[in-house]
Amino acid sequence: MDYKDYYKILGVERNASADEIKRVYRKLAMQYHPDRNPGDKRAEEHFKEINEAYQVLSDPQKRARYDQLGSSYSRWQQSGAPGGFDWSQWFSSGGQPGAGGRTVQYGNLEDILGSDSMFSDFFRAIFGGMGMDTGTAPRGRGRGRATPGYQQAVTISLREAYSGTTRQIQVDNRRLEVKIPAGARSGTKVRVAGGGPAGPDGQPSDLYLVLDVAADKEFEQQGDDLHTQMSVDVFTAILGGEEQVNTLSGKVILTIPPGTQPGQIFRITGRGMPQLNNPQVKGDLFVRLNVQLPRQLSAKKKSLLEEAARLK
């Protein structure tokens, strides 16, 4: 079995951040997607490699195991020891590998591409038992089904991901309205059984919407939590007060204690993103305060501040 260098496949350094890995993956996945390269087997194989690399490097647990394996494999190469590398100590047991992320209803990346060989022997041996979601095949269909799924990328806003939304999809001469649940994340796959075009066998394929949540100008998502910023004047920061804060579910009142420092972060429980398939449970909203200094002061305000400075 050959060692696979997932960092080289994605073209990133070994210390690349999760955000960098995600950004590079999205760019490569769009470039080599089978829909953009019909009939190009080389592009399809590279697309599979890219997805496999991302399944490992985007998961902290799998990435840590892979980095340990890489260090051990590198030491073996440098030692010049006779015989092959001892893979047995790295083999994972139990389970069958599937795609990472979450799928609404059924299916995973192997189903989408209609291939039992979506993942390499290396991936299956090393990561096959690490608790990945394999999905559930629909009744009467196995992984060897003749009709592959039809995959379509869909971009939604963060606010749509928060509350749920719908999308109208045109497939052949049919117009389908697909419900996207609240709590969807980038990489969430929504399956519509029989919603895709007919395959070579004449059987309808399944439609998979692969979601991408666009960046929001006001809120940054980190897992189930949201982060935002708001500005208050220096007098509110010094004396305390109440300010309205925007959330994805409306405005709330934030109590600012006296002596609040610039950059101080406040946590508002339960105002983050809902969990997929359990939307009643939400993360938290973290608010960073920016303190605005006045550019101009009235004579009275200036006099009072000068007096306060003398009393410090």
- The percent of the chain in helix, strand and coil, each rounded to the nearest 5, is 30, 25, 40
**Cβ of 172: how many Cβ atoms within 10 Å?**
9
pLDDT over 90 (residue 246): yes
Closest CA to 99 of 80, 83, 112: 112
| pLDDT score for 38 | 84
| pLDDT score for 83 | 65
Residue ranges and CATH numbers for the domains of the chain are 1-90 (1.10.287.110), 101-113+131-215 (2.60.260.20), 220-294 (2.60.260.20)
Of the ranges 76-85, 189-198, 207-216, 238-247, the best mean pLDDT one? 238-247
Q: CA 74: distance to chain centroid? A: 30
Any idea which of 71-85, 129-143, 209-223 has the lowest mean pLDDT? 129-143
| Sequence-ordered strand ranges (E) for the chain | 103-104, 150-156, 165-171, 174-180, 189-192, 207-213, 220-222, 225-233, 241-247, 250-256, 265-268, 274-275, 278-282, 285-292
Greatest Cα pair distance, the chain, in angstroms, is 87
* Pairwise CA distance, residues 262 & 276, whole Å: 35
* Pairwise CA distance, residues 267 & 248, whole Å: 15
State the pTM of this model. 0.53
| pLDDT score for 91 | 67
| pLDDT score for 208 | 82
* Pairwise CA distance, residues 150 & 147, whole Å: 9
Six token digits for residue 88: 């047995």
Which is higher by pLDDT, 81 or 185? Answer: 185
Report, as an integer, the average pLDDT of 178-198.
84
Q: 252-293 pLDDT, tens per residue?
A: 999 999 999 999 999 999 999 998 878 889 999 999 999 988
